[in-house]
Structure 1
């Protein structure tokens, strides 16, 4: 007897190599065109369009029209979290790409996961904030403490504005390369944006890597110590 949601349908959508490459390409939070996603998947435009239609019908991505152009992005943070978890599962089972390169090390140090900071630096930020009592874990939930609110305000983030939005303030996301949590939610997104505003980090235009300046390395270590 079958019980619960049918995971085979979602698994089949993600399991196709071309669609998996498209979904991975959207993990940096950007909206991409069908042509851009076709290049990422290594397929022709008609084939890419068919794949995108299936992903849209499966509610894993959503289309957006801007002028004459049509863009696609991940449906929501929940889809991104599932993809990140699957990457971790694949890595733990040694199911990896054959070819590696310099960007692999950059991705493991710091990368964009949907719209927040992941990798070694993302895990360091989360661990530092929890050890210092700025964040408190309660099972799979995490919340910002009063000390945390003061820290975030000093960091230059308007918590009140974040709470007015529909997105959850704090969420955990299991990091695929570190196998530990990093911070997601609207606060995770705001923290990464603030680091970009401070010129600590910048996004690599050709990958999900987040590149950290020498000044940013020192400032990040001071703001999020582990000792």
Structure 2
């Protein structure tokens, strides 16, 4: 990437409002401009200007349905960029309210990172899959033959024969400061956990709550105890 292009990309996130938008969109959902404006505490016209810059810069993509304009992160690569930069940020100030403290605690325990799992749960699952030989780290991350069999048996997931998306890759967790797993494997794990009610969303943010079924499933499948 040329230096100018890198500087322009960095400048997109060097603004509190645009950064707040991108962090909110790490939940993997599409948000309206009005929802993001209320989330960041700015006027709709201000939000629209910032969203246009993020879309033009390739970090966000938009969909229009009638009068509504929906935006989401442009893809896994954009999500990884935002999450990784967050992990290099200085420690966040102490929460100023019980509500904020509760949200941050829940997100640190388990949350979505675009379309995969993050927080202590995400890191614990990554460690367990590596320890059990499902994912190898010898020369970069790779799913082993044992791991492919586990995906088919445990998650009913068979990787597509041809896909531009890597089967597994590392994503630096901003609360744990250690990697969790992304890629098609990470997305399959999150989808399965939500579909089978191992996890369920908490409120309107990124936090996920572990259910009794999830506690048993993660313990039985990967030996993970939280």
TM-score, structure 1 normalization: 0.90
Inter-partner Cα distance in structure 2 for 1:210 and 1:43: 27
* Contact kept? 1:61, 1:73, Cα under 8 Å: yes
- Per-residue deviation, 1:171: 1.2
Partner of residue 157, structure 2: 158
Does residue 10 (structure 1) correspond to residue 29 (structure 2)? The answer is: no
- Displacement of 1:155: 1.1
Q: Would the alpha carbon gap of residues 205 and 167 (structure 1) be closer, same or farther in structure 2, given more than 3 Å must change?
A: farther
Count residues in correspondence: 221
**Is the partner of 1:173 in helix, strand or coil?**
strand
Is the partner of 1:85 in helix, strand or coil? helix
CA distance in 2, matches of 1:127, 1:195: 17
CA distance in 1, matches of 2:14, 2:141: 31
Deviations 1:97-132 (A, max 9, x none): 643411111111100001100011111111111111
The 1:63–1:7 alpha-carbon spacing in structure 2 relative to 1, beyond 3 Å, is same
Which secondary structure does the structure 2 equivalent of 1:166 belong to? coil
In 1, Cα distance between equivalents of 2:179 and 2:187 = 15
The unaligned stretches of length 5 or more in structure 1 are none
For residues 134-213 of structure 1, what are the structure 2 equivalents within 5 Å?
134-139=134-139, 141-160=140-159, 162-213=160-211
CA–CA distance in structure 2, aligned partners of residues 226 and 169 of structure 1: 22
Shift of 1:224: 1.9
Output the CA distance in 1 between the equivalents of 2:14 and 2:41. 16
TM-score, normalised to structure 2, is 0.90
Determine if contact 2:155/2:189 at 8 Å carries over to the other structure: no
CA-based RMSD of the aligned residues comes to: 1.9
User: What's the offset of the Cα at 1:96?
Assistant: 3.7
Q: How many angstroms does 1:158 deviate by?
A: 2.5
Give 2:38's aligned residue: 39
Tell me the distance in 2 between the aligned counterparts of 1:77 and 1:21: 18
Which deviates more from structure 2 when the two are superposed, residues 106-115 or residues 69-78? 69-78
CA distance in 2, matches of 1:153, 1:48: 43
Deviations along 1:76-98, whole A, 9 cap, x unmatched?
111111111122111xx324464
CA contact (8 A) 1:152 1:159 kept: yes
